[in-house]
């Protein structure tokens, strides 16, 4: 099994910056939308089976 090559500090900082931007700009919003959408779907399915809330 080969080990990963050592990166220079500048290359490492550049890679970490790109990963941070990807996580904050792409992945975090997608996860948030997926969680909220899933919760909404669960509520919708529950109300289809049990009827609307009584109040």
Angle, CA 23 vertex, CA 15 and CA 7 arms, to 5°:
15
The DSSP string of 11-36 is HHHHHHHHHHHHIIIIIHHHHHHHHH
| pLDDT tens by residue, 26-51 | 999 999 999 999 999 999 999 999 99
Could you tell me if residue 16 is inside a domain? no
Rounded to two decimals, the pTM is 0.72
Could you tell me if residue 3 is inside a domain? no
Q: Which domain holds residue 34?
A: 24-48
Could you tell me if residue 33 is inside a domain? yes
Structure tokens at 35: 């969680």
How high is the pLDDT of residue 20?
97
15-to-2, 11, 35 alpha-carbon distances in Å = 20, 6, 28
Could you tell me if residue 29 is inside a domain? yes
Instruction: Indicate the number of domains in the chain.
Output: 1
């Amino acid at each position: 099994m080969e080990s990963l090559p050592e990166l220079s500090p500048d290359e490492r900082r550049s890679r970490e910056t790109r990963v941070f931007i990807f996580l904050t700009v792409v992945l975090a919003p997608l996860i948030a939308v997926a969680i909220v959408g899933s919760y909404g779907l669960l509520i919708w399915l529950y109300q289809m089976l049990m009827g609307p809330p009584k109040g």
